[in-house]
Structures are given as structure tokens and as C-alpha cells.
Amino acid sequence: MGKTYTEAFASLKGVQLPLAATSYAKNIYWVFGMVLDESVPVDAAGMMRLLKEKGVGTRPFFFGMHEQPAFRDRGLFVGDQFPVAERLARRGFYIPSGMALTGEQISQVVERVQAVFEGF
């Protein structure tokens, strides 16, 4: 699934895809995250709405620890800013992944994600 998505989305402009591997690890694609760059006219929430309209379920990236209510309610991270974590939280989202996805479902996700990007 990860390889299929990576190949299908390689030509999309304005999106960062997960790495297949690093010097210390190989991606097992338990999730497939996409991070929109600033050239894309919507943020992750907007993209997830557009994909929902096309029948594609998504999930947002987690917010950084400094923005988690459990920590903020305890007075932690007051006034702290972490621009990279904040950008990832607002520009990143996950598309469907997992062992239960069929080839047909993956193809549908690919087609619909590509269709949304073509609209920009």
C-alpha cells in the first residue's frame, strides 16, 4: 500500500510524502501521512473536507505536546512555540491505510486524492 501510494502521488505538486526508509529504519506504512506545503491553497482541515466530499476518510496529524489540552490545563508549555510541530499539525493528514484495504479501495483513494489536487 505504501509503495503504491508513493508511486501514485510522486508527481503531485505541493505535498511531502513519507520516506520509504532512512539510514536507521524502514517504513512499514502503518499510516500514510501527507504534508501540504504552503503552495496548496488549503490546510489539512480543508483538504480533509474536500476528500470527505469524495468519500475518502482521513485523520488529522496529532498536535504537538505544547498544544495538547492535558498539558495546557496543567500550565505546561505556557507561551512556548514549536513552529515545525505546529506546521505539521496544521498541514498534515493521514489517508486510509492498513492491511484490510483492498486493491480496489486503494485505487479509489488514489483517484480521488489526485482529483482533488488537479482542482488546484
pTM assigned to the model: 0.92
Domains of the chain: residue spans and CATH: 2-60+93-118 (3.90.1150.10)
Q: Which helix (H) or strand (E) holds 117?
A: helix 103-118
Convert the pLDDT of each residue in 3-43 to its tens digit: 999 999 999 999 999 999 999 999 999 999 999 999 999 99
Q: How confident is the model at residue 71 (pLDDT cuts 50, 70, 90)?
A: very high
Cell of 2: 505504501
* Buried-state track 59-86, b at ≥16 Cβ within 10 A, e below 16: eebeebebbeeeeeeeeeeeeeeeeebe
Q: Is the pLDDT of residue 99 over 90?
A: no
Q: Please name which of 92, 108, 102, 112 lies closest in space to residue 1, comparing C-alpha atoms.
A: 102
- Per the listing, cell 474536500 goes with 50
